[in-house]
Chain A
Amino acid sequence: MRVVQYIITVVIILCLNFFLPRLMPGDPISTILNEAGADSGLMLTEEARAELLAHYGLDLPLDQQLLQYVEQLLHGDLGWSIRYRAPVADLLASRVLWTVGLVMSATLIAALLGTLLGVTTATHHGRWQDSTTISCVMALGSWPSFVVGVLLILVFAVWLGWLPIGGGSTSGAYYETDFQAAGDIIKHGLLPCLSLIIVSLPGFFMVARTAALRALQGEYIQVARAKGLAERRIVWRHIFPNALLPVVTALAMRLGYALTGAMAVEVVFQYPGMGTLIYEAAHARDYALLQGTFLLIMLTVLTFNLLAEMLYHRLDPRLRRS
């Protein structure tokens, strides 16, 4: 049943993916040529344009284009990006790691930090520290991610001059060792990563806090307390694992959105990831690239949703028993 549902969803996604770009006005050729800008210097006659359309198979009837599309997909061929003059699969491959690295690091750190904070505040439930921490975490996390990015650039790149203003690595640098290379990349990733951590912290924090609160009211905690176990031990042995469970599920769901999650932040930092690619593809109306990108994104989300579901079933003892 579940499988059928996922298959239907995939089919819908494929259809949307194919038809949507083609139902919209304009074609990629004219977009390339007329892109707003002061430097084009390019003129094309009607015949040359028709020739270009034919060259990219865009003049075929829609059903043939669809057939071609499905056939290419089955061969693992995502098509040719007209704007970037490169195979879509290559473009995606060159970008995916950047984004995944960035979002993974940020999400894992945020999840960990959120859980720690959540559990800590839950044990101080009702005291002023609790309300204050909640308000602070929320206040910090409620800023739009792109504005957080701008502010971080101002502080760390402009005023303090500690970190680079953007990009993925130093252009034209030579590295003596791999560690140097990694260091350079991490240095460039710090600010975007920090922006993402700040905005995704509250989600994990609240989930962990609620779970910890619930666990605190559980009978076994009362028993543990009655047995005279140290409060520290109770917290880390009993509450923390309980708080971690929903966080892990939330983490899996969140990672599904890894490819688009950092879009605005990537644009702010000119980070060489998927976000900037989508942004540019959308503006240039590059059919093949948009299709490829969204196929990848949708499938990732679906896979991670499925994963989250399975993970939840495995981790939750109540569900496992039944």
Chain B
Amino acid sequence: MKEHTWPSRIALAVLVIIVLFSLVGPLFLPWAPDELDTPLLGPTSDHPLGTDDVGADVLVTLMTSARLSLLIAGASSILGTSLGTLLGVISGYWRGMGMVIMRLVDIFMALPRLPLIIMLSAFVQPGVGTLVVFFVLFGWPQTARLVRSMTLSEREAGYIESARVVGARDSRILFRHLLPQVVPLATTRFVLEFQHVMIAESSLSFLGLSDPSVATWGRMIHYAFECPSLYISDVWWRWLLPPAAAIMLVALSLSLLNMQVERRFQPWLQR
């Protein structure tokens, strides 16, 4: 059967455009992020999306908020997936240590992730660093479990044994043979984590549970939602909708990309 690849291509293009926008977009606009005009201006040629409740340009805020949104999701998912992959491979390779790590995984997996993060956040109003720590702390176990079971079956494959027999060191087997095998799996985990953290973070910000100085799309939505004239003026479409659409685009692109990755590595993943 022929596979359609156009969705994933578009997805990739969208992601690249969003990243570019967040980094260089503000350079092309006449307004600096901290420059304030009259609050709650409607769209004008100066401010294509108008201004927010303190008079900051909504379009500029949209671009600059992308940075932290993507940074938090990116850092959490890279760290979480790497940690999970590493621990997964290790625990699959050394059985003894594996048991210990897996018990830890079991306990972590039994803890409800989002409710726990919500509760922790309710108390500490996490900043960027703390948020990343939370997401990594509760994000690695899923990856570790999947990677471990894959490593276990990989171990059974003949080539690891042969490598051992010819006297390869453990580290060499780990990094040269096992790790490359689990990369596809780790990649899909990374994409899913990215998506999860992105949405979880925006929910936390929306509920006002994270540090208000963490300027993300979720925070933009929070302020827009708090705006008393949200429903009865143009605020909803020019201030609330843009960051929401941005979140949607990123999440959607990641889903589509993930499907492509899964398809590419299907032989591994279906085992």
Contact = CB atoms under 8 A, between A and B. Distances in A.
Same complex: yes
Interface stretch (B25-33, B55-63, B117-125): B117-125
Interface stretch (B42-50, B139-147, B168-176, B245-253): B245-253
B212 to A, nearest CB: 13
Nearest to B202: A144
Interface size class of B (residues with CB under 8 A): 35 or more
A279 B207 contact: yes
A212 interface: no
A153 B231 contact: yes
Contacts of A9: 107, 110-111
B183 interface: no
B112 A301 contact: yes
Interface string B9-49: 00000000000000000000000000000000000000000
B262 to A, nearest CB: 9
A145 B225 CA distance: 13
Interface stretch (B71-79, B90-98, B149-157, B236-244): B236-244
B249 to A, nearest CB: 8
A43 B106 CA distance: 49
B251 A263 contact: no
Interface stretch (A60-68, A132-140, A170-178, A244-252): A132-140
A298 interface: yes
Contacts of A158: 231
Nearest to B103: A5
Contacts of A130: 4
Given A125-B1, A147-B240, A202-B255, A264 B203 contact: yes
Contacts of B202: 144
Contact of B252 (A139, A150, A279): A139
A126 B206 contact: no
Contacts of B203: 144-146, 263-264
A19 to B, nearest CB: 11
Task: Please classify the interface of chain B as helix (H, G, I), strand (E, B), loop, or mixed, using the class held by over half of its residues.
Answer: helix
A147 B244 contact: yes
A146 B112 contact: no
Contact of A138 (B207, B240, B252): B252
Contacts of A257: 112, 114-115
A263 B248 contact: no
Interface string B169-210: 000000000000000000000000000000100110011110
B3 A305 contact: no
Contacts of B225: 146, 150, 268
A256 B112 CA distance: 9
B101 to A, nearest CB: 14
B45 to A, nearest CB: 26
A125 to B, nearest CB: 6
A143 B114 CA distance: 18
Contacts of A13: 111
Contact of A263 (B7, B110, B118, B230): B118
Given A131-B4, A144-B221, A12 B107 contact: yes
A150 B224 CA distance: 11
A3 interface: no
A281 to B, nearest CB: 8
A131 B7 contact: yes
A147 B241 contact: yes
A301 B115 contact: yes
Contact of A150 (B6, B236, B247): B236
Given A5-B110, A131-B6, A144 B247 contact: yes
B256 interface: yes
Contact of A302 (B1, B6, B110, B252): B110
6 contacts: A5-B106, A12-B107, A12-B111, A142-B248, A150-B225, A158-B231
Given A5-B110, A263-B118, 7 more contacts: A16-B116, A130-B4, A139-B252, A144-B199, A150-B240, A151-B236, A290-B122
User: What 10 A-B pairs are tightest by C-beta distance, nearest first?
Assistant: A282-B122, A301-B112, A147-B244, A142-B251, A126-B1, A142-B252, A9-B110, A131-B4, A142-B248, A24-B123
Interface of B: 1-4, 6-7, 103, 106-107, 110-112, 114-116, 118-120, 122-124, 199, 202-203, 206-209, 218, 221, 225, 230-231, 236, 240-241, 244, 247-249, 251-252, 255-256, 259
